[in-house]
Structures are given as C-alpha cells and as structure tokens.
Amino acid sequence: MAEAQQLTFRVHDELLAIARLDRTEAVPGWAEGRFFHIGRTPDELSVVCAQARVPADVRQVRERVALGIAGVVPMSTVGLLAGLCAALAELSVPVFVISTYDTDWLLVEGARFDAARRALESLGHRIEGQLPAH
C-alpha cells in the first residue's frame, strides 16, 4: 500500500478493555459482543472486548478506543503498520494492534484519542467517528 494513499479509519463506538488471563484458562463467557478479540499464546490468554463486560477482578487496562482501517488491507502490504505506529509514537501515543484477515485495528488510550487523531490526520488519513462516551 503506497504511503501516500489516504486511509479511512472507523472509530468503534464503545470503549474497550484489554484483559490478561493465565495461559491455561478457558475463554471466559464474558468475552463476546460486537467487538471482541481473543489471542492465546504459550504464555497468556488475552481478551479484548467492551470494558463493561470485563469483571473488575480481572487484570486489565481500560478506556481503549479502536480505530479500524476501513476496507481490506492486503496481507502482502509492507510497512503500513510501521508507518502508522511511528506517527503515533512521535506524539507519545501507545498503541495495541489487532490484525484480522481483512484489516488492522489500532487501540489507543481514550485520553490520547485526540493526539492519535492528529497523528493519523497528519499522514493524510481520515477518521470517521468520535471518542465513545463513558
């Protein structure tokens, strides 16, 4: 994907949490909804879903906003995420990336949403949507 190509990012309309569970735990029943992602590695089980669904006693970070690249990003694309993450890093915006078969999602702290928007717009990209309500 050419660096000069304008991308459109869709803002998911609910705040998300990123939870960490032990690698041996079963996928919990609360890991569902309109937006959820489950990742298991030899070291951990990670769940991303609406923060309202995650029990308070689960290790988690909250107040994450998901910005998804609209459309399909070919798997042969080289350097796209590196460029996006570099622009976010320049404005001190930490990012958690979820890649799916079709596209990529950038999860940023709600408190850093405006800075993330500026970083992506500085590259010529469009952001559709606003910071979700608490």
Write the pLDDT tens digit of every residue in 75-91. Answer: 999 999 999 999 999 99
The per-residue pLDDT for range 85-114, each reduced to its tens digit, is 999 999 999 999 999 999 999 999 999 999
Q: Does position 126 have pLDDT exceeding 70, yes or no?
A: yes
* pTM of the predicted structure, to 2 decimals: 0.93
> Across residues 59-72, what is the average pLDDT?
98
Are 107 and 47 in contact by the 8 Å Cβ rule? The answer is no
User: Is 65:110 a contact under the CB 8 Å cutoff?
Assistant: yes
Integer CA distances (angstroms), 65 to 35, 40, 132, in order = 11, 22, 7
Task: Say if domain 8-128 classifies as CATH 3.40.50.2300.
Answer: no
